[in-house]
Amino acid sequence: MKAKYRFLLAVCVLGLLMTGPFVVTSFLVWVDMKEAERLMLTELLMSRLPVGTMMTMFGFAIGVAVLHKLFKQYVEGLLRMAETLRLMLSANRNFRVSLEGPPEVQQLASAANDLAQQRDVLMDDVDSQIARAKASVEEEKNRLAALMSELAQAVVVCNLDGRILLYNNRARLQFKALAQGPTSVSGGALIGLGRSIHSILEKSQVEHAQEVIRQRLSAGKSAISNFITTTRGGQLLRVQMVPVLAPGADGDAAMSGYVLTVENITRSIEQEARRDQVLHSLTEGSRAALGNIRAAVGNLIDYPDMEAELRERFVSVVADEAAKMSQRLDQTMVDFSDSMKTRWPLEDVLGIDLIAAAQRRIDDKLKLPTKTEELDDALWIKADSFSLVFALVFLAGKLQDHYEPRELRFRLTSEGKLAYLDLIWAGPAMSSETFYTWEMDAMQIGSEASPLSLRDVIDRHGGEIWYQREKAAHRAYFRFVLPVATPEIEAEAEDRKRGSGRPEYYDFDLFNFADKSIDLDRKLSELTYTVFDTETTGLEPSKGDEIIQIGAARIVNNRLLKQEIFDQIVDPEIPLKPESIPIHGITEDMVRGKPNIDVVLPAFHEFCEDTVLIAHNAAFDMRFLQLKEERTGLRFSQPVLDTLLLSAVVHPNQESHKLDAILERLGINIDTRHNALEDAVATGEVFLKLLPMLEEKGIVTVRQALEAAEKTYFARIKY
């Protein structure tokens, strides 16, 4: 029975206790009295009844007030204490019961806190022993994470249903680049734990590759399959599949999943096609010229006595066609040499790392002091670091042999898509002939020699090298002009700021997961969720307020994946309300030029497809999405769970169910409030801590959670 019903029952009992004895006694006396006595008693009572009634009502009111006070202090106080104790046992072991209420309740609360403290000491001891026991396993797991995360090749591991259970950082970045939609929308590609690889790769090709592997396994051959597929954006991918084998029922190894290595070959195919086109144009274009030259030469040989004017015409044909062939050959060589440069393996290198490597080599080989000045420490260069460092040390050795500088200095700057790497020294001027000789000679440093010249290295980087003097400073420098890189690792910067440690791109428990469709009767712990939040121009969606930020994260297999996020600022196409800016911190400059809701909402819809939605005060956020249904043609039809309502289900006696109050109760820390992504992540952590409490109340399925939430008082709130 709920507490309020028990209070009403207590009030009824109090009323019966106050009026019952009087009524029963009056009835018994009335039965034994004669008629005259009854008339006399009636007259007497009628004259005294108002006073007696008022005294009875006054006494009843005092009794109810005292009863209410006792009920608040003892009954509701003990119920709140019980909820707090459950919090201490499950979600937040550091939480403590407040010492409030009458002395007896305070003593009970103090005793409960003491017991909790003793429990914490014991649990800390147990945790330390478990931590020591798991140290070796954790070390192996971290090695695997490091290996997979840093591989230069895109790797994805799936179970037999095509659900992704592991992917490395290269795969994440590669598929993000292949994602459909505007690049300004930061929803990312549809790769993530628990998602289907079939949303990226053609399902029929994946299934055919699986069948090929099964046939090769049954034939005792090496189990491997390759195929090439096309993405929705027209990119060509080369995919290699190898099986993950597990013991089968009959003892033989059976396929329980597969590993995919994915390579984008679009650029290489285009380069091959370009080279073929160059060679084709050379051969086809030369055939006609050669025919004309052959005919002209044949006529000159066959008719040695022809007229001078006619002879001059044939000679002119030979000269013109030869000039055209020479021009075509020169152009072909230029195109082919550019193509050769693109085939030279260049990697993204941080400029300051390249300079540091050169400094170490110069100090080790030449014992020549080096310093740096004006370094752009965030500049990345497309380079072969070995040959470029060798070239820098080679030049340093030449300078030491001919000009004996006291020290060398390095400078690294950029302009547009070009990086300037300068090797600076103080000394006399150098002749252009000397520099040309150094540029064309094969490079050698002591006993180390390279078949490449300095010019070869520069050409293979598609760059240039200049010699210049700073007359005012009496210095000179070699300037390497190199292409600037935009390394994919920069895309990780925001991810790494969101959490310490290595990103979680794997979950081997997903080997045992099959169908992920939304079934209201499935357990809450078995489903995939998208927890989201919005920031808006105001609190009245029906009166024209608009979304200015959407943030979301995914929950897969009871894990909040902080790396698989959606975070996008939206241009509301209306002025922001000045009073709302201090709350969410988003200004007019931040939304200007961002994609509008017509672009962002489809990307978010794709991000949360086939998942249960979670939000805090979800009615508010969902109202904004519902009002855009007609404009965008998108409906968010999946179930929606509200952590505000679920908190009211779990802790009905707590006074507040605001997100801040819940975070404090559950011991969850958040860096920034009223940021859509941060609030979404905090809401996801709240939901995961509420799951075991819901299970204690017998709420284990989505349907049960929705039904319980609808019965709470806060479910009446509408927007």
- Residue that has been written with the tokens 């290996």 in this structure: 147
Of 128-142, 574-588, 661-675, the range with the lowest mean pLDDT is: 128-142
With beta carbons less than 8 A apart as the criterion, state whether 259 and 244 touch. Answer: yes
**Token pair of 145 as six digits:** 């994470």
Please give the pLDDT value at position 371.
93
Please give the pLDDT value at position 428.
84
For residues 85 and 97, give the distance between their C-alpha atoms in angstroms, rounded to a whole number. Answer: 7
pLDDT exceeds cutoff 80 at 248: no
Please give the pLDDT value at position 494.
45
Please give the pLDDT value at position 97.
73
| 236-247, strands of its sheet edge to edge | 164-167, 154-159, 253-264, 236-247, 225-230
| Mean pLDDT computed over 151-163 | 86
Banded pLDDT at 4 (limits 50, 70, 90):
low
- Three-state DSSP class for residue 516: coil
What is the tens place of the pLDDT at every residue in 31-90? 778 777 777 777 776 776 677 677 778 877 887 788 777 777 777 777 777 777 777 777
Please give the pLDDT value at position 2.
65
pLDDT exceeds cutoff 90 at 149: no
- Rg of the Cα trace of the chain? 40
Helix, strand, coil percentages (3-state) for the chain, rounded to 5, are: 55, 20, 25
What is the tens place of the pLDDT at every residue in 269-290? 766 667 777 777 767 667 777 7
Question: pLDDT averaged over the chain?
Answer: 82
pLDDT exceeds cutoff 90 at 321: no
Please give the pLDDT value at position 198.
87
* Better-predicted residue by pLDDT, 299 or 185: 299
With beta carbons less than 8 A apart as the criterion, state whether 189 and 161 touch. Answer: no
What is the tens place of the pLDDT at every residue in 484-507? 886 544 444 444 444 443 445 555
Q: Which residues are catalytic?
A: 674
What does each C-alpha distance from 18 to 4, 51, 64, 176 come to in angstroms? 21, 16, 11, 76
Amino acid at 542: S
- Which of the given ranges, 108-117, 191-200, 410-419, has the highest pLDDT on average? 410-419
| Mean pLDDT computed over 361-382 | 90
Please give the pLDDT value at position 507.
59
E strand segments, 72-153: none
This prediction's pTM: 0.58
Please give the pLDDT value at position 44.
72
- Which of the given ranges, 62-71, 397-406, 466-475, has the highest pLDDT on average? 397-406
Banded pLDDT at 228 (limits 50, 70, 90):
confident
For residues 666 and 88, give the distance between their C-alpha atoms in angstroms, rounded to a whole number. Answer: 9
- Which of the given ranges, 112-121, 139-148, 222-231, 361-370, has the highest pLDDT on average? 361-370
User: How many CB atoms are located within 10 Å of the residue 539 CB?
Assistant: 11
pLDDT exceeds cutoff 90 at 348: no
Please give the pLDDT value at position 399.
92
DSSP element (H, E) containing 547: strand 547-556
Please give the pLDDT value at position 488.
47
479 bridge partner residues: 422, 466
For residues 540 and 530, give the distance between their C-alpha atoms in angstroms, rounded to a whole number. Answer: 24
Please give the pLDDT value at position 432.
82
560 bridge partner residues: 555
For residues 428 and 420, give the distance between their C-alpha atoms in angstroms, rounded to a whole number. Answer: 23
With beta carbons less than 8 A apart as the criterion, state whether 490 and 474 touch. Answer: no
Give me the domains of the chain, ranges plus CATH numbers.
Answer: 3-89 (no CATH), 151-264 (3.30.450.20), 269-343 (1.10.287), 347-483 (3.30.565.10), 515-716 (3.30.420.10)
Please give the pLDDT value at position 508.
56
What does each C-alpha distance from 576 to 542, 547, 592, 597, 600 come to in angstroms? 16, 10, 11, 15, 18
What is the tens place of the pLDDT at every residue in 604-653? 998 998 899 999 999 999 999 999 999 999 999 999 999 999 999 999 88
Residue 494: name the closest of 415, 428, 588, 568 by CA: 568
pLDDT exceeds cutoff 50 at 169: yes
pLDDT exceeds cutoff 80 at 139: no
Please give the pLDDT value at position 594.
92
Please give the pLDDT value at position 687.
96
- Which of the given ranges, 24-33, 123-132, 509-518, has the highest pLDDT on average? 123-132
Banded pLDDT at 369 (limits 50, 70, 90):
very high
Banded pLDDT at 712 (limits 50, 70, 90):
confident
Percent of the chain whose predicted confidence (pLDDT) is above 90? 29
